[in-house]
Structure 1
Amino acid sequence: MFTGIIEEKGKLREVKISGVSGTIKIAASKVLERTKIGDSIAVNGVCLTVTQMDDAGFCADVMAETLRRSSLASLSKGDYVNLERAMAADGRFGGHIVSGHIDGTGTISNVKNEGNAIWVYISANDSILSLIVEKGSIAIDGISLTVAKVSDVDFAVSIIPHTADETTLASKKIGDTVNLENDIIGKYVQRFVGTLKGSSQAERDKKIFDFLNS
């Protein structure tokens, strides 16, 4: 599990994609601390397993499902990525629950400055937008952010200077693709509501009662 609080920006040393899978090598420093082979690191919000590491960075395998769901296939050598180690059991929970399992991608549709804040608008498909609520949480390229606005075609976040400095989001341009992970609680609620369809009133009442008291 992750929290969406980015620890550092890493730099891609090598990207090898052959067919539907591949490997990536990332230059990093902070996320290497206390990390060992087999540990998980979120790369732009994608949970990847460390397969090799040295003093300058780490390597991870990328499978077909990851390439289909995320923007990792579009990365190039020299690109910067957001990095976060899996949350330690005794760590501070500073963001929201982030699984590192991407629901899909979105496209930067607009960027605006307002004082010291940067507004970033992201268009996405209905399956992702249906789970976004104003003032709710979403992970964008692994960054835990609060939704400031949402419409039928896009949503917006407003980022502070610290977020702009410590992550890659402020460097994104209109048309760029970002990884999106919806709030996991919203996904569970949507799944539960789907089970109510076709049920009688008594069955719905019982399911709701059991859900609220589970």
Structure 2
Amino acid sequence: MFTGLIEQVGRIDRIEPLVRSVRLVISVGAMAAQLTPGESIAVDGACLTVESASGTAFQAFASEETLARTTLGAASAGREVNLERALRLGDRLGGHIVQGHVDGTGTFVGLEPAGSEGFILRIAAPQDILDMSIVKGSVTVAGISLTIVELTDTAFSAALIPQSVQSTTLRSLKPGDRVNLETDVLGKYVAKMLRGQGLLKEKSGSKKPSALPGSVFDLLGL
């Protein structure tokens, strides 16, 4: 479990292809000395398990499901990623409850100035993500806990402070870039209970996310 408060930005140094999955080698500087095999770490919002850590990097396994559902499926060496270690009992919950179970991906539309120093982030998102989103509700974008301030039929917007931009990968996003999205887990349970009582129905045409095109899948020949 995580909070969506990014600890630091790391860099993918190497991607090692396996059969239908990959092993990521991620450079994290001094953080590597704090990591232990078996612990969870959110990489751009996707919960991965540290396999080993030495020097200034750690290794983590990314399954076929992770590659298909997240932007890690299109990752390449040199890409920066947001990192957060798992929440410990007694820690402050500064963001919101984040599982690291990515629901799908959205598209970065833009980052616009708002007020004297703030920004408005706009993300185009799939319908199933938007259906689980509400204004003033929480959403995780590339592992970052954000609050939705506007919701349309095709996108949502979130207000950002300068810190959120300067200390995360948001600083380097370009229009059209894909980002991992996770909706509020509490809303998912409410929706499931309503469906069980026949008060909420699945929309026709909904489908599971398909594999992302990109370098990792090309590497595996998938």
Normalised by the length of structure 2, the TM-score is 0.85
2:130 equivalent to 1:132:
no
User: How much has 1:57 moved relative to structure 2?
Assistant: 1.2
- Give 1:145's aligned residue: 146
Flag the 1:31–1:84 CA change in 2: closer, same or farther, 3 A: farther
Partner of 2:119: 118
> Could you tell me which amino acid in structure 1 is paired with residue 119 of structure 2?
I
Q: State the Cα distance separating 1:126 from its structure 2 match.
A: 1.0
Residue equivalent to 1:32: 32
The yes-or-no answer on 1:189 pairing with 2:213 is no
Report the residue type matching 1:73 in the other structure.
Answer: G
Provide structure 2 residue ranges, at least 5 long, that are not aligned to the other structure.
200-222
| Alpha-carbon offset, residue 129 of structure 1 | 0.5
Give me the CA root mean square deviation.
1.4
How many residue pairs match? The answer is 198
Aligned to 2:60: 60
2:190 is matched by which residue type in structure 1? Answer: V
Matched to 1:107, the amino acid is T
Cα separation, 2, equivalents of 1:157 and 1:39: 30
Aligned residue identity for 1:113: P
Report the Cα distance in structure 1 between the residues aligned to 2:162 and 2:62, rounded to whole angstroms: 32
Deviations 1:155-213 (A, max 9, x none): 01121111111111132111000000000001011111101117xxxxxxxxxxxxxxx
Contact 2:45 2:82 in 1 (8 A): yes
Farther-moved stretch of structure 1 (106-115 vs 86-95)? 106-115
Question: Which residue pairs with 1:93 in the alignment?
Answer: 93
Larger RCO: Structure 1 or Structure 2 (Cα < 8 Å, ≥ 6 residues apart)?
Answer: 2
Residue 158 of structure 1 aligns with which residue?
159
> Relative to 1, partners in 2 of residues 1:75 and 1:6: Cα closer, same or farther, differing over 3 Å?
same
Cα separation, partners in 2 of 1:155 and 1:19, compared to 1, 3 Å: farther
State the TM-score, normalized to the length of structure 1. Answer: 0.88
Structure 2 vs 1, CA of residues 158 and 17 (structure 1 numbering), >3 Å: closer, same or farther? farther
Q: Distance in 2 between matches of 1:65 and 1:106?
A: 17
Q: Distance in 1 between matches of 2:139 and 2:31?
A: 22
How far the C-alpha of 1:26 sits from its partner, in A, is 0.6
Which AA in structure 2 matches 1:154? A
What are the Cα deviations for residues 129-157 of structure 1, in whole angstroms up to 9, with x where unaligned? 00110110001010001111111110011
Q: State the distance in 1 between where 2:174 and 2:148 align.
A: 19
Q: For residue 50 of structure 2, what is the aligned residue in structure 1?
A: 50
Give ranges in structure 1 of 5+ residues lacking alignment. Answer: 199-214
